[in-house]
């Protein structure tokens, strides 16, 4: 199981930011996590990465526990923040080669080229400086890196924020390709339509736990958008209260 979380509690001072969170994601699943500000979305990502100490509960990434073996967990996870950090003075290829060396996972030039091609990064960009890249190009570079690292779990934090509709559509197509490769994806997002288009399951986090969950239908429409909207709006009102 790429990700298994059970009854997870994470505190900050007296407050339980995660309060009994349970969530599992299988190979090839795309799980979209929705919720208002302060609901616990980012805390969930940081807990998976081993950046936060849990008060109780269990968490494992492909069988590794971030509390006891954080390095093993980070070797099994690729994380894409909302704004992908690349070295602007290096090309896409140089960035990828550098980060792969840091991860002790070097790949051949042919493998890197194949990854760039599979994510739809234009060949003209492979050896161009990243400082000239759009957000979509940065994301494609980072996902090519994730493919080359061959991690079972991909974490995405607001991946379509700031993307134009065409770039968002390209990104959603890319998620489908990752799913077909067996990569498990946990996507924190406010994009209801994007989540409905791509996710296998959608969870609504509220007060630090999954309050509601929807599973994609095999037929169109995949999700009830009205139910998603109402659930998200209720969560947002609760966060402001």
**CATH number for the domain harbouring residue 60:** 3.40.50.300
- Domain with 142, as residue range(s), is 86-150
Do 145 and 68 share a structural domain?
no
Q: Count of domains in the chain? A: 2
Q: Is 232 a residue whose pLDDT tops 80?
A: no
Region 121-132: mean pLDDT is 96
Do 138 and 169 share a structural domain?
no
Do 69 and 52 share a structural domain?
yes
Last residue of a domain, one of 150, 172, 200: 150
Helices 92-102, 109-118: crossing angle, 10 deg rounding:
120
Confidence (pTM):
0.89
Do 211 and 168 share a structural domain?
yes
Q: Is residue 81 part of a domain?
A: no
Whether a cis peptide bond, with omega within 30° of 0, leads into 241 is: no
Do 67 and 94 share a structural domain?
no
* Range from 13-27, 136-150, 159-173 that averages highest in pLDDT: 13-27
Do 197 and 173 share a structural domain?
yes
Which residue, 1, 88, 79, is CA-closest to 45? 79
β 201-206/209-215 pair status:
antiparallel
Tell me the pLDDT tens digit for each residue of 46-70: 999 999 999 999 999 999 999 999 9
Do 36 and 142 share a structural domain?
no
Which residue, 223, 238, 74, is CA-closest to 149? 74
Contact present, 22 and 42 (Cβ < 8 Å): no
Last residue of a domain, one of 150, 178, 206: 150
Do 159 and 71 share a structural domain?
yes
Confidence of residue 240 (pLDDT cuts 50, 70, 90): low
């Amino acid at each position: 199981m790429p990700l298994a979380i059970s009854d997870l509690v994470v505190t900050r001072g007296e407050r339980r930011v995660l309060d009994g969170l349970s969530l599992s994601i299988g190979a090839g699943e795309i799980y979209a996590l929705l919720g208002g500000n302060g609901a616990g979305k980012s805390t969930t990502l940081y807990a998976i990465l081993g950046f936060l100490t849990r008060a109780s509960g269990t968490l494992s990434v492909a069988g590794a526990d971030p509390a006891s073996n954080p390095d093993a967990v980070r070797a099994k996870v690729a994380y894409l923040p909302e704004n992908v950090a690349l070295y602007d003075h290096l090309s896409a290829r140089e960035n990828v080669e550098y980060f792969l060396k840091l991860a002790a996972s070097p790949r051949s030039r042919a493998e890197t080229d194949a990854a760039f091609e599979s994510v739809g990064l234009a060949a003209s960009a492979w050896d161009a400086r990243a400082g000239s890249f759009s957000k979509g190009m940065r994301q494609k570079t980072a996902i090519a890196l994730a493919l080359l690292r061959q991690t079972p779990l991909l974490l995405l934090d607001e991946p379509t924020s700031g993307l134009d509709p065409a770039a968002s559509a390209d990104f959603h197509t890319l998620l489908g390709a990752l799913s077909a490769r067996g990569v498990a994806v946990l996507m924190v997002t406010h994009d209801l339509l994007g989540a409905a288009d791509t996710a296998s399951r959608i969870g609504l986090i509220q007060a630090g736990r999954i309050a509601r969950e929807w599973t994609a239908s095999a037929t169109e429409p995949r999700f009830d958008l009205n139910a998603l909207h109402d659930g998200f709006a209720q969560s947002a009102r609760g966060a402001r209260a």
